[in-house]
């Protein structure tokens, strides 16, 4: 960005899609396409010799797919990588989330299907994402193996953590946007399968990608991941994702509610709806977590949860892809704790483990008892 323009490499196996992406990107005066390649190895070679500001990459490519290409780039010449995928292709979506696990920081839907209004909205979102991601500082990823899942039994709490939690925590609510899938996976993979509280999640993600994310989380965590259904009683050790285009909350009877009420902060589902519901229904018995994402969705409502006595956690700036939502919450004084993504699971375990006040980890008082 020496002259203020964002240099983008397009990696896409379809020649037609590649031309369309280049034209779309260059329609923005702030973006310059510096390369367009048709396979993963060519993308790696380009990045090694002409490091761009952003790589916009498809998932199915000759020689190396999007996952392997992302992994190798992030282990050598780390740059912000955006996966551009078709949301109606199950295989594409599976590779998309493996690529995010390898270090890609965002996923967007290819803007070449649907009605004209849909195309214009998707194209605008693509351009906005490229510009935003160009400012993200990424670090080189070292090759590593996935840690073994935690055992189902809790280890004894360290002495420093043996302190009474403010109240019985019956429900955990998590909100996330840009960069959220990997932060969520980091947190949920750090929780044991008998985690003694249900977890409700609102993740802003491109339409059609949620089932793929749920499957990916089911494969990479020991918890049971569901796309939420209306009227379900949330169970300990289970995670419920707000479905596309529905707000999710919790009713006075402890059951999940879904509604198509008006968008909040231009979003549906909205984190604000979930957190407000938790504040009103569970008060001090809820725990709220606000993760990486642009905008301010959920920040005011996290403060409302704190005002009702709930424990509230915001992701720190260093570990956030975009520190919009948690940053606003911190500025509002809405977070009782500010933590990096890889420390949040430990905090949740320490808090929920002690909900009966003696640290025995039996999980009394969970919703649905």
Active site members: 177, 204, 297
What does DSSP say about strands 247-250 and 256-259: parallel, antiparallel, or unpaired? antiparallel
Rounded Cα–Cα distance for residues 216 and 193 (Å): 16
Total Cβ atoms within 10 A of residue 112: 16
Phi, psi of 95 (to 5 degrees): -65, -35
| Measured torsion, CA atoms of residues 172, 175, 176, 181, in degrees rounded to the nearest 10 | 30
- Residue 269, classed as helix, strand or coil, is coil
Closest-CA residue to 203 (of 170, 166, 240) = 240
Output DSSP code: residue 65: -
- DSSP label at 30? T
Residue pair 309/166 in contact (Cβ under 8 Å)? The answer is yes
Nearest 5°: phi and psi at 340?
-70, 155
Element (H, E) at 46: helix 40-49
The pair of three-digit structure tokens given for residue 3, joined into one six-digit string:
């002259």
Q: Which of 164, 225, 227 is nearest to 195 (CA)?
A: 225
Task: Please state the separation of Cα 284 from the chain's center in Å.
Answer: 25
Q: What angle do CA 318, 319, 320 make, to 5 degrees?
A: 95
The whole-angstrom distance between residue 129's C-alpha and the CA centroid of its chain comes to 15
Give the C-alpha separation, 24 to 18, whole Å.
10
- Whether residue 171 contacts residue 287, with contact meaning beta carbons closer than 8 Å, is answered with yes
Contacts of 275 (CB under 8 A, 6+ apart): 173, 175, 288, 290, 298, 301, 302, 304, 305
């Amino acid at each position: 960005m020496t002259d203020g323009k964002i240099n983008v490499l397009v990696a896409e196996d379809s020649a037609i899609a590649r031309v369309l992406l280049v034209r779309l990107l260059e329609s923005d005066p702030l973006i310059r396409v510096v390369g367009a390649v048709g396979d993963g190895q060519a993308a790696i070679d380009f990045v090694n010799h002409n490091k761009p500001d952003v790589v916009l990459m498809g998932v199915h490519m000759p020689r190396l797919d999007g996952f392997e290409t992302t992994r190798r780039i992030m282990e050598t010449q780390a740059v912000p990588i955006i996966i551009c995928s078709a949301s109606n292709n199950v295989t594409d979506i599976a590779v998309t989330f493996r690529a995010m696990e390898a270090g890609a920081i965002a996923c967007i839907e290819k803007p070449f299907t649907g009605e004209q209004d849909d195309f214009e909205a998707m194209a605008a979102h693509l351009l906005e994402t490229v510009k935003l991601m160009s400012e993200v500082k990424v670090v080189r990823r070292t090759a590593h193996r996935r840690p073994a899942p935690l055992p189902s039994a809790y280890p004894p709490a360290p002495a420093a953590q043996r302190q009474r939690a403010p109240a019985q925590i019956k429900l955990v609510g998590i909100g996330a946007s840009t960069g959220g899938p990997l932060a969520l996976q980091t947190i949920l993979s750090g929780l044991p399968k008998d985690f003694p509280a249900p977890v409700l999640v609102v993740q802003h993600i491109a339409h059609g990608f949620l089932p793929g994310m749920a499957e990916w989380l089911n494969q990479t965590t020991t918890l049971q991941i569901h796309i939420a259904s209306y009227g379900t009683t949330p169970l300990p050790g289970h995670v419920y994702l707000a479905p596309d285009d529905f707000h999710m909350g919790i009713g006075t009877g402890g059951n999940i509610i879904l509604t198509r009420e008006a968008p909040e902060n231009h979003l549906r589902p909205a984190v604000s709806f979930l957190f407000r519901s938790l504040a009103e229904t569970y008060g001090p018995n809820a725990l709220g977590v606000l993760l990486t994402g642009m905008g301010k969705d959920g920040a005011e409502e996290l403060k409302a949860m704190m005002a009702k006595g709930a424990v509230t956690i915001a992701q720190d700036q260093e570990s956030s892809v975009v520190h919009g939502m948690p940053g606003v919450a911190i500025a509002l004084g809405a977070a009782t704790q500010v933590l990096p993504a890889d420390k949040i699971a430990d905090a949740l375990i320490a808090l929920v483990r002690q909900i009966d006040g003696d640290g025995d980890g039996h999980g009394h008082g969970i919703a649905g008892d």
